[in-house]
Amino acid sequence: MKFTILVNEGPYQHQASDTAYQFTKAALEKGHEIFRVFFYNDGVNNATRLAVPPQDDRNITQNWTELAEKHGLDLVVCIAAAQRRGILDEDEMKRQGKDAHNLAPGFRISGLGQLIEGGIQSDRVVVFGD
């Protein structure tokens, strides 16, 4: 089965991001395909490279980055939601006249069309968070 995953919650506010990560990992281990993981609303906060969780806590951003690297996942961050929350890649940093970018490795910024495409190309869209 081919899935698109939609993550709507930040990495430490709710369980949704952890659950999305565990679901994605388990689906891949069972041989399913992940077409795309789309981060929307507060879910875009999963993509910041500047978060520093305590050493004895999980690093959700790093988990997503490593999973994407291992399996070639497409981790897409909604541009509008990201900009509202101060998540920028290098191109957006320059375009917006900012002096820093903070998008974690393995993530990319794009628009809602990527979510729609995921829905069209996948058998199921699984949503985590409100």
Q: What is the pLDDT of residues 99-127, one digit of tens each?
A: 999 999 999 999 999 999 999 999 999 99
Note the Cα 98 to chain centre separation in Å. Answer: 22
**Structural domain range at position 90:** 2-128
- 19: annotated active-site residue: no
**Residues 22-44, mean pLDDT to the nearest whole number:** 98
CATH number at residue 34: 3.40.1260.10
Q: What is the mean pLDDT of the chain?
A: 96
Q: Which of 78, 82, 87, 88 is catalytic?
A: 78
Distance CA(113)–CA(130), nearest Å, equals 20
Look at residue 13 and tell me whether its pLDDT is greater than 90: no
**Residues 31-54, mean pLDDT to the nearest whole number:** 96
| CA nearest neighbour of 43 among 75, 66, 68 | 75
| pTM (predicted TM-score) | 0.95
Q: How far is CA 63 from CA 21, 48, 70, 120, 123, in A?
A: 8, 12, 11, 27, 25
